[in-house]
Amino acid sequence: MGLFKSKNNTHSDEKKSDKYYYASQWGLMARKFRKHKLAMGSTFVLVIFYLTAIFGNFIAPQGTEQYDGKFVNCKPTPVHYFHEGKFVGPFVYGMKTERDPVTFMAQHVEDREKICRIKFFTQGDPGGEYKWLGLFPSNLHLFEAEDGGKIFLFGTDNMGRDLFSRVILGSQISLFIPVVGMLLTVVLGLAIGSLAGYFGGWIDTVIQRLIEVVRSFPQVPLWMALSAAIPKTMKPAQVFMLMTIILSLVSWPGLARVVRSKFISVKKEDFIMAARISGAPGSKLITRHMIPSFLSYIIVDMTMSIPSLIIGETTLSFLGLGLRSPATSWGVLLQETNKLETIMFYNWKLIPMIFVFLSVLAFNFMGDGLRDAADPYK
């Protein structure tokens, strides 16, 4: 027996590190995921987006209800560092109003005489108070221009609201509705898919038909019909809840199908039979062996389902069926762009679209990376 031992130990592949041998599935997945540069970059972008959303009221100079009628449809304010060749640090010029000699439209232009330095960590104007996470009252803001200067990094809208602030505060809804909707989707998809896959038989047949029926509805009109049923008088928080429910009611069948097929294929695996022969009861079989064996795929699927939820929320709000002003989301912001003049004269109002685009893309790339990492044993 001693002979076997020494002989056998030489079989281990010397090149691979000890760490690799002790790495669990999640450890191996992390190793693989880190090699996927695009996915890592996207994850970084998403972390920034979500942190910005969480600290949104602090980063945004204006609250959702603040506006300034004097500064309607302003272009994005340029931030300068040098005044007449001299370094001053970050500042903006004051603003004055002029008429365009050709179109006679009122325009805000830089007043080169007036320098307003940018201060950081300032107490905001009255009206800029917020409760962080709905709990801690504060009026601390990341930056502000001194001497009554105005910084509109992304310009303003036709009511004089700072678009930069609105994009950030809008992301709180546009980025979190999909996540909450996704979690609901997971609960529905996992429960229904497991029922079908584990029990099979007539339960499976009924659920499969149900999935087919739900999937055969065109998604966007279904969303629209359901959203149109939301009463106009509802509070934004309730609309938010209903929208997540609507989004997940439409998207669970995709996940349920994945879960079902995973259950069916894992049931045939040798290690499942081995566990059963060693006396594992059904509950342990499911929770200890079956679900862990495809959990990583579920996570991939969840990640991949978020983009369509982001687009779903944006679409509904854009069409005026989801959230409405003063509640803010990227879709609400894009509502203003449905006029031709916006694109001609106020093209900065399309900036929210860039964020929709970036977040959708980032989720897709991250999902790609996760999918490659999902089966680390191949």
Partner 1 sequence: MDNVLLEIKDLSKVYESKGVNVKALSNINLTVKKGETIGIVGESGCGKTTLGRCVVRGIDATSGEVLFHTDEGVIDFLKIKGAQMRRYRKDIQMIFQDPYASLDPRMTVFDIISEPLRYNTKMSNREIEQAVDRITDQVGLNKAYLRRYPHAFSGGQRQRIGIARSLILQPKLIVCDEAVSALDVSIQAQIINLLEDLQREYDLTYLFISHALSVVRHISNRVLVMYLGRMVELGETEDLFRNPLHPYTKALLSAVPQPDPDVTIDRIVLEGEVPNPANPPSGCPFHPRCAYATDQCRKEMPPLKEYDGRLVACWNIK
- Please answer whether residues 302 and 374 qualify as being in contact, where contact means their C-beta atoms are separated by less than 8 angstroms: no
**How far apart (Å, rounded) are the C-alpha atoms in residues 26 and 194?**
23
**293 touches partner 1 (CB under 8 A):** yes
3-state secondary structure of 324: coil
Nearer of residues 18 and 113 to partner 1, judged by Cβ: 18
**99 touches partner 1 (CB under 8 A):** no
Contact with partner 1 (CB under 8 A): which of 14, 15, 24, 344? Answer: 24
**377 touches partner 1 (CB under 8 A):** yes
Least distance (Å) between residue 51 CB and partner 1: 32
Contact with partner 1 (CB under 8 A): which of 106, 212, 269, 343? Answer: 269
How many Cβ atoms sit within 10 Å of the Cβ of residue 153? Answer: 18
- Please answer whether residues 42 and 366 qualify as being in contact, where contact means their C-beta atoms are separated by less than 8 angstroms: yes
Residue type, 66: Q
**What are the angstrom distances between the C-alpha of 86 and each of 78, 79, 82, 114, 178?**
17, 15, 5, 15, 47
Picking from 56, 61, 117, 49, the residue whose alpha carbon sits closest to that of residue 88 is 117
**230 touches partner 1 (CB under 8 A):** no
Least distance (Å) between residue 16 CB and partner 1: 8
151's tokens? 């910084």
Contact with partner 1 (CB under 8 A): which of 34, 35, 119, 284? Answer: 284
3-state secondary structure of 44: helix
CA angle 229, 235, 237 (to 5 degrees): 100
Contact with partner 1 (CB under 8 A): which of 14, 113, 270, 341? Answer: 270
User: Which range in 17-25, 38-46, 56-64, 121-129 contacts partner 1 by CB under 8 A?
Assistant: 17-25
Contact with partner 1 (CB under 8 A): which of 20, 44, 81, 199? Answer: 20
**What are the angstrom distances between the C-alpha of 66 and each of 28, 142, 191, 333?**
49, 17, 44, 15
Looking at the DSSP assignment, which residues form a beta bridge with residue 80? 91
Looking at the DSSP assignment, which residues form a beta bridge with residue 82? 87
Least distance (Å) between residue 275 CB and partner 1: 7
Nearer of residues 232 and 378 to partner 1, judged by Cβ: 378
Contact with partner 1 (CB under 8 A): which of 102, 133, 135, 277? Answer: 277
**279 touches partner 1 (CB under 8 A):** yes
283's tokens? 């509950």
**120 touches partner 1 (CB under 8 A):** no
User: Which range in 8-16, 83-91, 117-125, 310-318 contacts partner 1 by CB under 8 A?
Assistant: 8-16
Least distance (Å) between residue 33 CB and partner 1: 17
User: Which range in 22-30, 73-81, 191-199, 249-257 contacts partner 1 by CB under 8 A?
Assistant: 22-30
3-state secondary structure of 131: strand
Least distance (Å) between residue 372 CB and partner 1: 17
Residue type, 201: G
- Please answer whether residues 8 and 15 qualify as being in contact, where contact means their C-beta atoms are separated by less than 8 angstroms: no
3-state secondary structure of 186: helix
**12 touches partner 1 (CB under 8 A):** yes
Nearer of residues 80 and 276 to partner 1, judged by Cβ: 276
Nearer of residues 40 and 295 to partner 1, judged by Cβ: 295
**14 touches partner 1 (CB under 8 A):** no
262's tokens? 């995973």
**How far apart (Å, rounded) are the C-alpha atoms in residues 54 and 48?**
10
**292 touches partner 1 (CB under 8 A):** yes
**274 touches partner 1 (CB under 8 A):** yes
DSSP secondary structure string for all residues of 45-88: HHHHHHHHHHTHHHH-SS-TT---TTSTTPPPPPPEEEETTEEE
Nearer of residues 8 and 103 to partner 1, judged by Cβ: 8
State the DSSP code for 156. Answer: B
Q: Where on the chain is the footprint of partner 1 (CB under 8 A)? A: 1, 4-5, 7-9, 11-12, 16, 20-25, 28, 269-271, 273-281, 284, 289, 292-293, 377
